[in-house]
A and B are shown apart, each in its own frame.
Chain A
Amino acid sequence: MLEACVLVTILCGFLGIIFKKNLVMKIISMDIMSTGVIAYYVLIASRAGLYTPIVSTKEVAYADPVPQAVILTAIVIGFSIQALMLVCVMKLAKNNPTLETSVIEKNNTP
Chain B
Amino acid sequence: MTEITIAWIAAPFFVGFVIYLLPKLDRWLALVIAIFSAAYAINIFLLDSSIDVRLLDNFGVTLLVDRLSGFFIITNALVTAAVICYCWQTRKKAFFYMQLVILHGSVNATFIGADFISLYVALEVISVASFLLITYTRSDRTIWVGLRYLFLSNTAMLFYLIGAVLVYKANNSFAYQGLLNSPPEAIALIFLGLLAKGGIFVSGLWLPLTHSESQTPVSAMLSGVVVKAGVFPMVRCALLLPEIDPIVRFFGVSTALLGVGYAVFEKDTKRMLAFHTISQLGFVLAAPVVAGFYALTHGLVKSALFLIAGVLPSRNFKELQYKPIDNSIWIALVIASFSISGFPLLSGFGAKVLTTKNLLPWQVIAMNIAALGTAISFAKFIFLPHQKPGLRSEMRGKEDGEKKVQAGFWWAMAILLGGLIVANVVYYEAYTVKNLVKPLLTIFIGWGIYLLVIKKLVIKLPRAIEQFDHLIGVMSLSLILLFWTIWARF
**Chain A residues near B (Cβ < 8 Å):** 10, 14, 17-18, 26-27, 30, 33-34, 37, 40-41, 44, 47, 66-67, 70, 73-74, 77-78, 80-81, 84-85, 88-89, 91-92, 95, 101-102, 104-105, 107-110
Is A18 a contact of B469 with CB atoms below 8 Å?
A: yes
Is B165 a contact of A108 with CB atoms below 8 Å?
A: no
In the complex, what distance in Å separates the CA atom of A95 from the CA atom of B21?
Answer: 34
Most chain A CB atoms below 10 A, which of B120, B162, B164, B209: B162
CB distance from B407 to the nearest CB of A (A): 31
Question: Chain B residues with Cβ under 8 A from A77's Cβ?
Answer: 121, 124
Is A44 a contact of B146 with CB atoms below 8 Å?
A: no
Q: Does B43 contact A (CB under 8 A)?
A: no
Q: Does B399 contact A (CB under 8 A)?
A: no
Is B144 a contact of A73 with CB atoms below 8 Å?
A: no
Q: Mark B329-361, 1 if CB is under 8 A from A, else 0.
A: 000000000000000000000000000000000
In the complex, what distance in Å separates the CA atom of A1 from the CA atom of B473?
Answer: 27
Q: A66-B168, A101-B468 are in contact. Are A88 and B121 (CB under 8 A)?
A: no
Question: Chain B residues with Cβ under 8 A from A85's Cβ?
Answer: 147, 150-151
Q: A74-B120, A77-B121, A108-B140 are in contact. Are A44 and B165 (CB under 8 A)?
A: yes
In the complex, what distance in Å separates the CA atom of A105 from the CA atom of B146?
Answer: 12
Q: Does B7 contact A (CB under 8 A)?
A: no
**Chain B residues near A (Cβ < 8 Å):** 59, 117, 120-121, 124, 127-128, 131, 135, 138, 140-141, 143-147, 150-151, 154-155, 158, 161-162, 164-165, 168-169, 172, 174, 209, 213, 463, 467-469, 472-473, 476
Is A109 a contact of B165 with CB atoms below 8 Å?
A: no
CB distance from B326 to the nearest CB of A (A): 26
Is A91 a contact of B143 with CB atoms below 8 Å?
A: yes
Question: Chain A residues with Cβ under 8 A from B127's Cβ?
Answer: 81
Most chain B CB atoms below 10 A, which of A10, A14, A89: A14
Question: Chain B residues with Cβ under 8 A from A27's Cβ?
Answer: 151
* Interface of B (DSSP majority class): helix
Question: Chain A residues with Cβ under 8 A from B144's Cβ?
Answer: 92, 104-105, 108
In the complex, what distance in Å separates the CA atom of A110 from the CA atom of B210?
Answer: 12
CB distance from A11 to the nearest CB of B (A): 10
Give how many A-B residue pairs fall within 8 Å (CB-CB): 86
Is B124 a contact of A81 with CB atoms below 8 Å?
A: yes
Is A67 a contact of B165 with CB atoms below 8 Å?
A: yes
CB distance from B167 to the nearest CB of A (A): 11
In the complex, what distance in Å separates the CA atom of A78 from the CA atom of B128?
Answer: 11
Q: A73-B117, A73-B121 are in contact. Are A41 and B165 (CB under 8 A)?
A: yes
A and B contact pairs by CB, cutoff 8 A, 29 listed? A14-B155, A14-B476, A18-B469, A18-B472, A26-B151, A27-B151, A30-B151, A30-B155, A34-B158, A37-B158, A41-B165, A44-B165, A44-B169, A67-B165, A70-B164, A70-B174, A73-B117, A81-B150, A81-B154, A84-B128, A88-B146, A91-B140, A91-B143, A92-B144, A95-B140, A101-B469, A104-B144, A105-B468, A110-B213
Question: Chain B residues with Cβ under 8 A from A33's Cβ?
Answer: 155, 158
In the complex, what distance in Å separates the CA atom of A41 from the CA atom of B167?
Answer: 12
Is A67 a contact of B140 with CB atoms below 8 Å?
A: no
CB distance from A83 to the nearest CB of B (A): 10
Question: Chain B residues with Cβ under 8 A from A30's Cβ?
Answer: 151, 154-155, 158
Question: Chain B residues with Cβ under 8 A from A95's Cβ?
Answer: 140
CB distance from A42 to the nearest CB of B (A): 10
9 extra interface residue pairs, beta carbon distance < 8 Å, beyond A10-B158, A14-B476, A88-B150: A37-B162, A40-B165, A66-B172, A67-B168, A85-B151, A88-B135, A91-B140, A105-B467, A108-B140
**Chain B residue with Cβ nearest A47:** B169
Is B150 a contact of A108 with CB atoms below 8 Å?
A: no
CB distance from B124 to the nearest CB of A (A): 5
CB distance from A39 to the nearest CB of B (A): 11
* Contact among A10, A34, A81, A108 for B141, CB-based, below 8 A: A108
Question: Chain A residues with Cβ under 8 A from B213's Cβ?
Answer: 110
Is A108 a contact of B124 with CB atoms below 8 Å?
A: no
Is B143 a contact of A44 with CB atoms below 8 Å?
A: no
Question: Chain B residues with Cβ under 8 A from A74's Cβ?
Answer: 120, 161
Q: A70-B117, A88-B143, A108-B140 are in contact. Are A17 and B472 (CB under 8 A)?
A: yes
CB distance from A27 to the nearest CB of B (A): 8
**Chain B residue with Cβ nearest A95:** B140
Question: Chain B residues with Cβ under 8 A from A17's Cβ?
Answer: 155, 472
Is B154 a contact of A78 with CB atoms below 8 Å?
A: yes
Question: Chain A residues with Cβ under 8 A from B162's Cβ?
Answer: 10, 37, 40
In the complex, what distance in Å separates the CA atom of A74 from the CA atom of B469?
Answer: 25
Q: A14-B476, A73-B121 are in contact. Are A88 and B128 (CB under 8 A)?
A: no
**Chain A residue with Cβ nearest B116:** A70
Question: Chain B residues with Cβ under 8 A from A44's Cβ?
Answer: 165, 168-169
In the complex, what distance in Å separates the CA atom of A80 from the CA atom of B129?
Answer: 12
In the complex, what distance in Å separates the CA atom of A41 from the CA atom of B476?
Answer: 21
In the complex, what distance in Å separates the CA atom of A17 from the CA atom of B155?
Answer: 9
**Chain B residue with Cβ nearest A7:** B162
Question: Chain A residues with Cβ under 8 A from B146's Cβ?
Answer: 88
CB distance from B396 to the nearest CB of A (A): 25
Nearest first, the 9 A-B pairs at minimum CB distance are: A108-B144, A88-B147, A108-B141, A77-B124, A66-B59, A37-B161, A70-B117, A88-B143, A37-B158
In the complex, what distance in Å separates the CA atom of A77 from the CA atom of B120?
Answer: 10
**Chain A residue with Cβ nearest B127:** A81
